[in-house]
């Protein structure tokens, strides 16, 4: 049992190292600055000087965007929450909410070994799959 736990721990560390190695130094520095950050974007009317909230982005302890909310004059337009894989650091699920804060679209992702997106599964709020998007990467020698 200890051997299995040891092997799993080694795989987890290797996977984390691989995920970190796929990021450029600039991306890592950007994530470092965003740890536990909340960004609020405000708009101001030039004539009346009225100010209103336009958007909020919330970042987690690893510097990844976990929630984004867009506002209109009447309140929330939409909201998206993101869930990440602990090993690869890639988005595995996004839930999109409407102006009444009810989920209306759920996206789940599969990734290729090289870090590119492989598939996107689109679900209705009741969990029923309604479409699948497959990504194909074609490189040309021009």
Residue that is written with structure tokens 């595995």 in the block: 92
pTM equals 0.73
Q: Please give the DSSP secondary-structure letter assigned to residue 66.
A: E
Termini Cα distance of the chain: 54
Question: How does DSSP assign 10-35, residue by residue?
Answer: HHHHHHHHHHHHTS-HHHHHHHHHHT
Which CATH code, of 1.20.120, 2.60.40, 2.20.25, 2.40.128, is assigned to 2-134?
2.40.128
Q: What is the pLDDT of residue 60?
A: 92
Instruction: Note whether 122 and 106 are within 8 A (CB).
Output: yes
Q: What is the pLDDT of residue 7?
A: 45
Instruction: Return per-residue pLDDT of the chain as tens, 142 residues.
Output: 444 344 444 443 444 444 444 678 888 887 788 888 999 999 988 898 888 899 999 999 999 999 999 999 889 999 999 999 998 889 999 999 999 999 999 999 999 999 899 999 999 999 999 999 999 999 888 7
Q: Alpha helices of the chain — where are they, by DSSP H?
A: 2-21, 25-34
Q: What is the pLDDT of residue 14?
A: 40
Q: List the Cα angle 69/75/79 in 5-degree steps.
A: 20
**Domain extent listing, the chain:** 2-134
Q: What is the pLDDT of residue 5?
A: 42
């Amino acid at each position: 049992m200890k051997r299995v736990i040891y092997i799993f721990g080694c795989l987890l560390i290797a996977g984390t190292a691989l995920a970190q190695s796929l990021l450029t130094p600039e991306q890592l520095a950007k994530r470092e600055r965003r740890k536990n950050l909340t960004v609020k974007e405000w708009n101001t009317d030039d004539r009346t000087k009225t100010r209103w909230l336009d958007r909020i982005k919330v970042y987690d302890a690893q510097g990844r965007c976990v929630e984004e909310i867009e506002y209109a004059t009447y309140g929330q337009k939409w909201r998206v929450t993101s869930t990440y894989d602990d090993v690869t650091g890639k988005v595995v699920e996004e839930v999109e909410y409407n102006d009444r804060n009810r989920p209306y679209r759920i996206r789940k992702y599969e990734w290729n070994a090289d870090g590119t997106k492989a598939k996107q599964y689109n679900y209705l709020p009741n969990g029923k799959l309604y479409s699948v998007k497959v990504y194909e990467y074609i490189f040309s020698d021009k």
